[in-house]
Structure 1
């Protein structure tokens, strides 16, 4: 084959490889912060593609979307333009685990995001395949496309999703492919390996899409949206969404379906040993469920619309890599799908990823300047996890170019901080999924206060608009004023007041009490005390929610804030990436090995590395103190 001829096509500050959820947020952050940015995608039709489930948010993931929004990202604004059903999950539990989940119109979500990219100043959107990244003196200098175009650049963000050496599996059939029948990226994997990158295989899967008219909904449980629509973006909190929501449906597999799976397990590439990649634990295939939970005679299946302009329905809970003819048999033995017609078959896809422990918490490579990685290439799963990483990578590429301090969110500040810290500190052997249980400080990291936590940070970076910042300040002031007012409003034990208290299901008063103290009662809500509060003004729902949450959980929040202060002490004790831990006396051999491998940026991060014990952390603290005194004495 003739050697590819190169030509210099253009020069950019930042080049983003891939226009999935990670790539889009990275490119928008970079361009909005003033960098001339190129985003390159194998197909313009794959921009922000919802290649698997047609929804955004969910437990833990909804927190990420709100945080992206609070920092000035785009995902929340885009889903607010394109959702067709909205539900707040876990409302029977405490506010820390409330998570918004909405069904998307897949086509609209893609088209609206493409429109945003096309109209963004400083951003060039280009269809093409990048096959190599150029380095000089361990620093990024450019990229090469399949057609020979060279784009000089100061920073590269790799956000390739499941495209790197993607291979689709359906039973005995397997072929090279990206998701949704797109072309895979083969040569970039090969060039990364030649440069010494160790790539690992991971796997994910997706269920079949079936024809809407071939489903018997009468035997299923309808799953309507919430009556009160809560938007994802804080900019839309006072907006009325007058849409007719589309229902989803709940049904179940049957023993017959399970028997068919058991009879054909040897034809599954996972069980036949043809797939090397590890699949997501928290989103298993139907064959995994049947094997792992053999005592269950049925599994939940959700039927979800893919959009308003299509009759494709997503069969959540039945992803599989079994042969097509076996898939059809299984689906026909799901209640209500006896006459089902397939429109797209289910498949598993295997793809390349890196070991994320080679990255800093900025998502920059530890040894190659201005080379960033974001999304599924880092071993994560999910649109929301990818978008979060893309946003942070985009911000930090700009910070590097401008010579500014890196932007790092720690575990006490955001779910995004938990996500990235888990990936780069602990690594992952399976696609990582965000869950509320992963966050130690989840009581303070609620989805409803993401703007109060993060919007000022985004404003200082230059990513948050003045409008968004002022909106947050007004909300913050309204909350503080109402909390102070409630402490001063006293309710006496009059016959009239006690009657009102009985009506809202709480005990009568024996002496005067402030409304603040009254709302502390578990059975009393902020809204239920309206009749006891003659001077109450009209406050937005989100302000009322904040007021009630802060009152009811005040004691717990104070305890968590003390824990966070202790956590911060270790986070603020910085370590050098150039440190040679083998020279520090007192560290265990395992700690020396692990610390030299992971190169943590703080004592706090070091404490979370497996194999580094509390006694090793004490040795590090003593070492840092001795070094500090030595420097001071030399001065």
Structure 2
């Protein structure tokens, strides 16, 4: 019934979609298995993409040739660039999306991708022989052979949904949990754990009083995620709103704490630290008398509203009473209550940097199965797992992003070397080279890599090279072009920056914190005419590189030092246990994780500087 596939992807969430698309685009014959064809790329939680560090990840996925950026642009209803008041390393794109259109666009994109087949059914078991995966077995007993398998099971592995004292099996509201795979993997020697996440109630927007809330508009000149010409910025946008909880809300919620699965011990899994439930916020931050609530439309035409900031697993009657005491929610009608979900995950220290498992060859894990949270983190892992599954089948070099290459590299390196005991979320502070890893230059960093493996198209590469060359030419011209005191001093005074006595280059002027290229264009008509030839991306790139040149150069020097260690390879069969001078913890961690380079070894928790020195000596021998 089925041919042998190159890659089988289990699960069609954000990780699974990116994995299937990447492997297929690189020439692999792919089967995407999902329990429900109608929930492909479902936005299980908030209808939004991006945010701090997450937006950078989406830009990186796009630069490599992945799809999340394009799908987000096509389904966007609002765009905001967060942290504009800070430096460019902190600028983070975020979109509100139409939930139904996002899922539809992903499905249409996958159906339009040659080499992707679909099968709707639960995968209950892997076919494994001699520590190598050979395919999957389905719930009705079908065996489907494959050269590699990517597991992207999300929250479905033995998922349990909690609402107050009620609990029932499920991977998402209205959908069954997946059984069998966890137990088999544990029998094969994998370590498993439990994690928890949650979601807020959904409500009827027609029942809200928006006059009691603060309106939150999108950016005046919205941008987009994708560097390609396939999408265009929004012409119109939908607004969001902000309101707040209050003392009455908190007191009402507290009446249900004795029935809370979080507080009475029924939930064992650890939840996300940076996205706590409303009951957790009230408990942890008792001194605060209010918490912010973001009121987010679920799409262009639907009346459904996502109540961001009100994630909860309290009994539904308590949720309903409490939510109606929020300003603007007095007559609120609820579509469905919030809930918590517990699910199995596998500590990611059991993986290689390619996301292939250490124990079973050609088996890859991506997404929440690795202990992460967030659509963006999942999508980026799916992309890397899909790429490497395809590369492995073709017997080509593995695709590994370093910490200095991308936020995706930081994410995977953190997971494999440090593991995670709570759902991992990406932040800009996790990246030591964040000035190099900006959202605006993801294409300059990664498109050539994506093109070299057959993922980013020729047109993508050409567009990136044009941007790079135009930026270089413009920066060189800014060093040559000079402005005279007579033409610009009046404008400098208006902008509260020092006037000049003699001609000054545009480059020197641009280094002033009060001035950007758009300001300088208003100072001089000739410069305005010259700069108008360049598009916004090139102007922004030249401005950032000029203003922050010395800081960028320092980070590049740090990267070169790090790369010396990253290029020092460790043999895969290296015997750490035979080195008596290594600490006991160092031996244990190194033997378990089996780092591929000295740089990776240096970042493993429990490996001391002394261990590293000893290891360097032995490797030198």
Q: Structure 2 length as normaliser, TM-score?
A: 0.98
Q: Deviations over 1:25-84 (max 9, x none)?
A: 000011111111000000011111001000000001000000000000000000111010
In 2, Cα distance between the equivalents of 1:451 and 1:180? 37
CA contact (8 A) 2:73 2:232 kept: no
The residue correspondences of 1:304-453 to structure 2 (distance < 5 A) are 304-453=296-445
Matched, 1:210 2:203: yes
Matched, 1:183 2:179: no
Return 5+ residue gaps in structure 2 as ranges. Answer: none
Give 1:554's match in structure 2, choosing from 527, 549, 571.
549
Q: Which residue of 1 aligns with 2:466?
A: 474
The residue correspondences of 1:235-246 to structure 2 (distance < 5 A) are 235-236=228-229, 239-242=232-235, 244-246=236-238
CA contact (8 A) 1:86 1:102 kept: yes
Equivalent pairs, count: 617
Q: Which residue of 1 aligns with 2:239?
A: 247
Q: Which residue of 2 aligns with 1:133?
A: 126
Matched, 1:157 2:182: no
Deviation at 1:296, TM superposition (A): 0.2
CA contact (8 A) 1:202 1:352 kept: yes
In 2, Cα distance between the equivalents of 1:588 and 1:173? 48
Q: Deviations over 1:604-632 (max 9, x none)?
A: 11111111111211112222222xxxxxx
In 2, Cα distance between the equivalents of 1:218 and 1:542? 38
The residue correspondences of 1:77-88 to structure 2 (distance < 5 A) are 77-88=70-81
Q: Which residue of 2 aligns with 1:584?
A: 579
Query: What SS does structure 2 have at the residue aligned with 1:269?
Result: coil
Matched, 1:124 2:113: no
Query: What SS does structure 2 have at the residue aligned with 1:270?
Result: coil
| RMSD (Å), alpha carbons | 1.3
Q: Deviations over 1:379-420 (max 9, x none)?
A: 000000000000000000111111111100011110000000
In 1, Cα distance between the equivalents of 2:531 and 2:353? 46
Q: Which residue of 1 aligns with 2:295?
A: 303
Q: Deviations over 1:154-177 (max 9, x none)?
A: 000000101111110001100001
CA contact (8 A) 1:230 1:237 kept: no
Q: Deviations over 1:585-611 (max 9, x none)?
A: 432222112111211111111111111
Give 2:508's match in structure 1, choosing from 505, 509, 517.
517
Q: Deviations over 1:293-313 (max 9, x none)?
A: 000000000000011232110
Q: Which residue of 2 aligns with 1:60?
A: 53
- Mean Cα deviation higher: 502-511 or 392-401: 502-511
- Mean Cα deviation higher: 615-624 or 105-114: 615-624
CA distance 1:535–1:306, change in 2 (3 Å): closer
CA contact (8 A) 2:195 2:269 kept: yes
Matched, 1:595 2:590: yes
Matched, 1:38 2:31: yes
Return 5+ residue gaps in structure 1 as ranges. Answer: 1-7, 627-635
Give 1:528's match in structure 2, choosing from 519, 529, 543.
519
Give 2:286's match in structure 1, choosing from 258, 283, 294.
294
- Mean Cα deviation higher: 289-298 or 507-516: 507-516
In 2, Cα distance between the equivalents of 1:271 and 1:231? 42
In 1, Cα distance between the equivalents of 2:486 and 2:231? 38
Q: Structure 1 length as normaliser, TM-score?
A: 0.95
Matched, 1:545 2:540: yes
Which 4+ residue blocks in structure 1 deviate beyond 6 angstroms? none
CA contact (8 A) 1:231 1:237 kept: no
Query: What SS does structure 2 have at the residue aligned with 1:154?
Result: strand
The residue correspondences of 1:64-103 to structure 2 (distance < 5 A) are 64-103=57-96
In 2, Cα distance between the equivalents of 1:482 and 1:437? 31
In 2, Cα distance between the equivalents of 1:263 and 1:553? 53
Deviation at 1:322, TM superposition (A): 0.4
Give 1:606's match in structure 2, choosing from 601, 607, 610.
601
Deviation at 1:279, TM superposition (A): 0.4
CA contact (8 A) 1:375 1:385 kept: yes
Query: What SS does structure 1 have at the residue aligned with 2:89?
Result: helix
Deviation at 1:240, TM superposition (A): 4.7
